[in-house]
Amino acid sequence: MKTQRVGVTGWEKGWVPLMRTLVDHPVMSRPPTLSLYVLLLFRARYIPGFADIGGEVIELGIGQCTYGREEVAKSLGLTERKVRTAQRFLEKAGLISRKATSRGSIATVCDYEAWTPTNSSGRPTDDQPTTSRATTNEQRDKEKRKQSISES
C-alpha cells in the first residue's frame, strides 16, 4: 500500500496553513477544542460540493463539512461530552457555526477565507515560502537581534 506524505502535495490535496495568531487565541489552552478545530479545518470544503448524511445528499459551501460527534470522538480519542464542550466553545468564540441534523452536524468554519491562500482565479495556491526567502528572513532577524543587543 502506498502512503501519501501529509503536506507535500499542495493545499488543495492535503495541507492547510495554520496562522500564528492562533497561538494567542484561548483555544490553544484547550487541547480537545484545538484538536476539533483543526480537524474541522482539514475537513472543510475548499470548493462547493455535496455530502451524504445518512442517505440524504446535501450541498456544502466553501468552509463547510459534515461530522458526527461519536465518529469525531473516536478519531480524536475524546469522549462525546468533550466533543460537545469543544463545539460549544468554538461556537461561542466565533470560530465555527453549526447546524445539527438528526444524522450529524454541518459545521461552517467562520472566516474560512483567512485560512485559504488563493490566487487571482480564486483557486487555492500552492505557494509556500521558498528556502531562499526563509533564509533571508532568518538572516534579517539575526541582524536585528545583533543590532538591538549592541545598542543596549
Q: Which domain holds residue 76?
A: 18-116
Taking only the tens place, the pLDDT of each residue in 120-131 is 444 555 544 444
Whether 2 maps to a domain, the answer reads no
From the list 87, 79, 74, 70, the residue with the least C-alpha distance to 36 is 87
CB 87 within 8 A of CB 77: no
Q: For residue 6, tell me if it sits in a domain.
A: no
Whether 111 maps to a domain, the answer reads yes
Return all residues near 139 (Cβ < 8 A) that are at least 6 apart.
Answer: none
The answer to whether residue 42 is domain-embedded is yes
Q: How many domains does the chain have?
A: 1
Residue 53 lies in a domain: yes
Per-residue pLDDT of the chain (152 residues; tens, 9 = 90+): 443 434 333 445 667 778 888 888 999 999 999 999 999 999 999 889 999 888 889 999 999 999 999 999 999 999 999 999 999 999 999 999 999 888 889 999 998 888 776 544 445 555 444 444 444 556 666 676 666 566 65
* Among 4, 16, 20, 2, CA closest to 124: 16
